[in-house]
């Protein structure tokens, strides 16, 4: 039998000019096991912090930049190419670092591309996404539902963050709407400006885990990242009078913290086309899923069937009409997207993480409904 190298011995053989250890960057047993499968080849693990068309910025190894091997350039679809948050294995020769393998993703947040209709990666291997909104014009329960659905689909855990509570005398007013739009999801109210409530978010930042920030431009994602870092590495920009931001952040980037957790700042997204399967919609609309269990027909579509518990709840006002409408719209979007993709695209897109992500979600759910 071939002797199995441990990834740790691999790491020790590299000269590291980087201040971050692999552990600090979230290289867990999950990724170590994948890396070990290639151990005989002597490739070096590293994490992609930012990616452009052909160049990949790295953390955790001696090379700041790498290129894809010719084989991977040929083999990988756009979605499979290394991106922010990915773990890769490198071959380092003289001054050149070449990515020889992209380790299977534990989670992957994707959205429908604005152009072309394909699926686009937002970030890989994020454990928790903070969905940031603000206590002003940005606030929209319907948008929140889209983000929550996409995050459940990614395999990560969503946490809703209401920022800029310093602007409102009554955050409670928003709280009820947020909890209704994201049932079972933790909601935090805070202010990146004066620090109110930030310690509740800080207490979630566990070493070894990666935390992403998503939400519209101007809600204060970078301001929060700066506050958590204790320094202003991320550019922030004043918002316009109409409450919208100015796209201060232009690329997705990893920000390792001293406490051993990793943050991912992302640019505000104008549109968020949701790519999700039915199970993710059920997680995001757990209230509707629960009602469905009481429908007379187990395959009830909640359109006009007799004995439909969902329609009954809508009529009694227990289930807001807008929420049901939002659920139906997302269901249609998801179905339309699935149909547009060729079977080949579908299997390519999902094969790397879909199974893993389902397992994690089930695990999460059992925790959630304790
Ligand atoms: N009043 C108030 N203003 C805030 C708060 N947090 C951020 N801001 C301001 O909101 C504006 C936008 O903040 P950013 O951190 O750049 O927002 P962003 O979400 O990173 O925006 P993009 O990078 O464009 O996606 C800046 O003027 C911040 O100073 C807050 O808690 N309260
Ligand atoms: Mg920003
Ligand atoms: Zn029904």
CATH superfamily of 7-102: Nucleic acid-binding proteins (2.40.50.140)
Give mean pLDDT, residues 274-291.
Answer: 92
Q: Which ligand is nearest to the CA of 314?
A: 3
Strand ranges in the chain using DSSP code E only, listed in sequence order? 44-51, 56-59, 65-68, 87-93, 96-102, 108-112, 119-124, 128-134, 157-163, 187-189, 210-214, 253-256, 262-265, 273-274
pTM for the whole structure: 0.88
Looking at the predicted structure, is the pLDDT value of residue 151 above 60?
A: yes
Looking at the predicted structure, is the pLDDT value of residue 184 above 50?
A: yes
Residues of the chain with CATH 2.40.50.140: 7-102
User: Is 214's C-beta closer than 6 angstroms to any atom of ligand 1?
Assistant: no
Residues of the chain with CATH 1.10.40.50: 276-368
Q: Which residue has the higher pLDDT, 274 or 271?
A: 274
Q: Check residue 347 and give its pLDDT.
A: 53
Task: Name the residue among 358, 274, 354, 352 with its Cα closest to residue 87.
Answer: 352
Give mean pLDDT, residues 4-15.
Answer: 44
User: Is 269's C-beta closer than 6 angstroms to any atom of ligand 1?
Assistant: no
User: Is 133's C-beta closer than 6 angstroms to any atom of ligand 1?
Assistant: no
Give mean pLDDT, residues 212-224.
Answer: 95
Task: Name the residue among 28, 32, 26 with its Cα closest to residue 47.
Answer: 26
* Fold of domain 276-368: Ribonucleotide Reductase Protein R1; domain 1 (1.10.40)
What tens digit of pLDDT does each residue of 22-48 get?
A: 999 999 999 999 999 998 898 999 999
CA of 180 to the centre of ligand 1 (A): 25
CA–CA distance from 67 to each of 58, 94, 309 (Å)?
A: 10, 14, 55
CA–CA distance from 28 to each of 15, 19, 53, 155, 210 (Å)?
A: 21, 18, 28, 16, 11
Kindly calculate the radius of gyration of the chain based on its CA atoms and give it in whole angstroms.
22
What tens digit of pLDDT does each residue of 66-103 get?
A: 999 999 999 999 899 999 999 999 999 887 899 999 99
Residue 194 CA, closest ligand 1 atom number = 31
Looking at the predicted structure, is the pLDDT value of residue 289 above 90?
A: yes
Q: Which two tokens stand for residue 88?
A: 């890769």
What is d(CA 225, CA 264) in angstroms, rounded to the nearest whole number? 8
Q: Which residue has the higher pLDDT, 269 or 101?
A: 101
Give mean pLDDT, residues 185-213.
Answer: 96
Q: What 3-state class would DSSP assign to 270?
A: coil
Q: Which residue has the higher pLDDT, 257 or 339?
A: 257
User: Is 166's C-beta closer than 6 angstroms to any atom of ligand 1?
Assistant: yes
CATH assignment of 108-265? 3.40.50.300
What is d(CA 320, CA 328) in angstroms, rounded to the nearest whole number? 13
Residue pair 131/147 in contact (Cβ under 8 Å)? The answer is: yes
Residue 52 — very low, low, confident or very high, per pLDDT cuts 50/70/90? confident
Residues 6+ apart with CB under 8 A from 139: 133, 162, 174, 177
CA of 233 to the centre of ligand 2 (A): 11
Residues 6+ apart with CB under 8 A from 182: 131, 144, 145, 148, 158, 160, 284
User: Is 227's C-beta closer than 6 angstroms to any atom of ligand 1?
Assistant: no
Q: What angle do CA 318, 143, 331 make, to 5 degrees?
A: 70
């Amino acid at each position: 039998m071939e002797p199995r190298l441990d990834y740790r011995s691999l790491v020790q053989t590299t000269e590291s000019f980087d201040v971050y250890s692999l552990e600090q960057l979230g290289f867990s047993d999950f990724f170590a096991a994948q890396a070990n499968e290639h151990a005989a080849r002597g490739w070096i693990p590293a994490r992609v912090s930012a990616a452009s068309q052909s160049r990949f910025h790295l953390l955790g190894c001696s090379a700041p930049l790498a290129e894809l091997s010719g084989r991977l350039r040929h083999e990988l679809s756009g979605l499979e190419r290394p991106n922010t948050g990915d773990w890769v294995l490198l071959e380092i020769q003289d001054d050149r670092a070449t990515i020889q393998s992209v380790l299977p993703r534990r989670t992957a947040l994707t959205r429908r591309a604005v152009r072309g209709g394909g699926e686009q990666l937002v970030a890989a291997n994020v454990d928790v996404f903070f969905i940031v909104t603000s206590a002003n014009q940005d606030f929209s329960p319907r948008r929140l539902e889209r983000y929550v659905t996409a995050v459940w689909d990614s395999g990560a855990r969503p946490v809703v963050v209401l920022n800029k509570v310093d602007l409102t005398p009554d955050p409670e007013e928003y709280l009820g709407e947020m909890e209704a739009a994201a049932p079972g999801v933790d909601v935090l109210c805070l202010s990146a400006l004066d620090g109110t409530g930030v310690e509740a978010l800080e207490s979630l930042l566990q070493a070894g885990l990666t935390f992403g920030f998503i939400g519209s431009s101007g809600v204060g994602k970078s301001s929060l990242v700066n506050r958590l870092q204790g320094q202003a590495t991320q550019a922030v920009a004043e918002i316009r009078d109409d409450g919208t931001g100015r796209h201060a952040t232009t690329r997705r980037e990893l920000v390792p913290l001293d406490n051993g957790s990793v943050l991912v700042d992302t640019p505000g997204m104008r549109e968020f086309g949701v790519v999700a399967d039915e199970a993710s919609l059920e997680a995001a609309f757990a209230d509707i899923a629960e009602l469905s269990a009481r429908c007379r027909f187990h395959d009830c579509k909640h359109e006009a069937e007799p004995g439909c518990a969902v329609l009954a709840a809508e009529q009694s006002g227990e289930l807001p009409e807008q929420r049901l409408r939002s659920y139906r719209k997302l269901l249609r979007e998801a179905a339309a997207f699935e149909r547009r993709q060729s079977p080949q695209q579908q299997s390519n897109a999902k094969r790397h993480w879909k199974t893993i992500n389902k397992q994690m979600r089930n695990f999460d759910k059992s925790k959630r409904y304790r």
